[in-house]
Amino acid sequence: MRKLGALLKELGVDVRSLAAGDIAVRSPIDGAEIARLKSDTKGSVAKKIARADEAFRAWRLAPAAKRGELVRLFGEELRAHKAALGRLVSIETGKIVQEGLGEVQEMIDICDFAVGLSRQLYGLTIASERPGHRMMETWHPLGVVGVISAFNFPVAVWSWNSALAIVCGDSVVWKPSDKTPLTALACAEIFAKAVKRFGEAPKGLLEVVFGGKEVGEALVDDKRVALVSATGSTRMGREVGPRVQERFGRVLLELGGNNGMIVCPSADLELAVRAITFSAVGTAGQRCTSLRRLIVHEKIYDQLVPRLKKIYGNVAIGNPLDAKTLVGPLIDEGSFKRMQDALAEAKKQGGKVTGGERVKVASCAGGFYVKPAIVELPSQTEVMKEETFAPILYVVKYKDFGKAIQLHNDVPQGLSSCIFTRDVREAEQFTSALGSDCGIANVNIGPSGAEIGGAFGGEKETGGGRESGSDAWKSYMRRATNTINYSDSLPLAQGIKFDVG
Ligand code: NAD
């Protein structure tokens, strides 16, 4: 922690700018204040959007493959700064260094993906019903993309959006969480290095605005921001979504999850136990895809749950910068209180709670470390239907497979899900139209830790957005349908006659 200044310098951040301001940045590791920054004002946000808008007007004209070259250079810079940025992610979010590094690797992966994509922004050619006509689709750059991001994936989610937006010919205005502005500053500096090497990018291609909700709202309400891609709680999405739509802007929402796993009688319990532990306990339960609900067949319940309790009892909780640690702190005291409230509520609803108490970690007195909790419930009660952003794993039994799927889907959120089974019929049913209603449905893999190649996002109160791989790029472009007449006549569609003499 003493070396934070050196780390920031290595990443190119001007540490002199971090001494004063209304945003107090605290490391969840020990709760200590590590920097201060000034929030943007409505006026400064407007100026940054104006710069980004001007940058867009120039950048959209650069050939897509050329735009890809900038992202390729950014990927190179990220490789060079992976260790430092990964460590900063760890300091600012409290996730273990392995996961901090994993987050930066995800940024590198999406850059590689976007570079390839820059040569594949394909449209369709469509058969026309009229003689001498051709139809096609063209994809054009969209405009300024506003990215609002959450504290728990402070850099990867931004890069999923930005790497695609940049190759699609857009500019970006980023509002990081006010809990994690340092990693955003570092990313902006790393991006600036790539821009410098690239040489011809317009100024304002990436702007960063700092602050809380009000600063986010300034982005949400600005007509020049063509797409608002917002990641965070469902509460935030409920505010942001309608506001952007009110001005007919485009919105991409990546909101809360309440992810479940069904463990069937034929499951490989070794694999299941490892997957459960990583996805429920990892990142201290602070992933949008963290496992929160375990639906276990009654026949194997007594083999699985005691085993999990044993592992939970021994998991290494501590300073996330220590290589042996598997579970770091919660982000702050508010998060700890919400966890305790949920556990108290679960007890009232008939839950048997194991773990969940605060853990004191030497030299990290101000940090909120907790024992991950297992809550055995007689049925899926109301508390289990809410996302509590902490390591709480609710467990219920099932008897009938159809009922297990019904239970699985009976929550408002629809992000990630999985099944552990060796029965192909169960696996296929789970991934079929009758099965999981989530945006991500896995077999014999936990719900968290997605690769960048697939589209990422979820249904229902998770917001419906898709980011990252597959054809998620289409959200960052504008589609035009073109009909071209190369004949000497003007036949109308649907055979309509309209003779003007
Ligand atoms: P949060 O909703 O408190 O904040 C997220 C971001 O939205 C922050 O930058 C915040 O300043 C901004 N914001 C909040 N209200 C706003 C408003 N009215 N207008 C504009 N901006 C506003 O979320 P958090 O606590 O930082 O993150 C945890 C939540 O994010 C969890 O619910 C988690 O599931 C979710 N999340 C979802 C995904 C996903 O891809 N689905 C990924 C990561 C996190």
Q: What is the pLDDT of residues 329-353, one digit of tens each?
A: 999 999 999 999 999 999 999 999 9
Ligand 1 atom index nearest CA of 387: 32
396 CA → ligand 1 middle, Å: 29
DSSP structure class, residue 384: G
258 CA → ligand 1 middle, Å: 15
Ligand 1 atom index nearest CA of 153: 43
- How many CB atoms lie under 10 A from the CB of residue 431? 16
Tell me: pLDDT of 213 over 90. Answer: yes
Share of the chain above pLDDT 90, in %: 98
Residue 15 class from Cβ within 10 Å (0-12 exposed, 13-18 middle, 19+ buried)? Answer: middle
Q: Rounded to an integer, what distance in angstroms lies between the CA atom of residue 110 and that of residue 112?
A: 5
Q: Rounded to an integer, what distance in angstroms lies between the CA atom of residue 486 and that of residue 483?
A: 10
Tell me: pLDDT of 140 over 90. Answer: yes
Q: Return the active site residues.
A: 254, 288
149 CA → ligand 1 middle, Å: 6
429 CA → ligand 1 middle, Å: 33
CA torsion through residues 142, 146, 150, 155, sign: positive
What is the model's pLDDT at position 454? 97
Report residues whose beta carbon is within 6 angstroms of any ligand 1 atom.
Answer: 148-153, 157, 175, 177-178, 212-213, 216-217, 220, 231-233, 236, 239-240, 254-257, 288, 387, 389, 415, 462
Ligand 1 atom index nearest CA of 289: 34
With bands split at pLDDT 50, 70 and 90, how would you rate the model's confidence at 484? very high
5 CA → ligand 1 middle, Å: 28
Tell me: pLDDT of 1 over 90. Answer: no
Tell me: pLDDT of 501 over 90. Answer: no
Tell me: pLDDT of 90 over 70. Answer: yes
Ligand 1 atom index nearest CA of 235: 2
Tell me: pLDDT of 15 over 60. Answer: yes
Q: Rounded to an integer, what distance in angstroms lies between the CA atom of residue 189 and that of residue 490?
A: 55
Residue nearest to atom 40 of ligand 1 (CA): 254
* Tens digits of residue pLDDT in 242-258: 999 999 999 999 999 99
Ligand 1 atom index nearest CA of 176: 9
What is the model's pLDDT at position 60? 98
Q: pLDDT averaged over the chain?
A: 97
What is the model's pLDDT at position 3? 86
DSSP structure class, residue 349: T
490 CA → ligand 1 middle, Å: 52
Ligand 1 atom index nearest CA of 232: 30
Side-chain half-sphere CA neighbours of 353 within 13 A: 20
What residues have CB less than 8 Å from 236, skipping those under 6 apart?
Answer: 148, 216, 230, 255
Tell me: pLDDT of 440 over 90. Answer: yes
CA distances from 299 to 398, 401, 417, 446 (A): 9, 12, 21, 21
CA torsion through residues 84, 86, 89, 90, sign: negative
Q: Rounded to an integer, what distance in angstroms lies between the CA atom of residue 331 and that of residue 63?
A: 42
Residue from 236, 389, 460, 475 to probe ligand 1 pocket by mutation (most atoms less than 8 Å from CB): 236
Residue nearest to atom 39 of ligand 1 (CA): 254
Residue from 152, 173, 388, 389 to probe ligand 1 pocket by mutation (most atoms less than 8 Å from CB): 152
With bands split at pLDDT 50, 70 and 90, how would you rate the model's confidence at 192? very high
Q: What is the mean pLDDT of residues 97-123?
A: 98
270 CA → ligand 1 middle, Å: 34
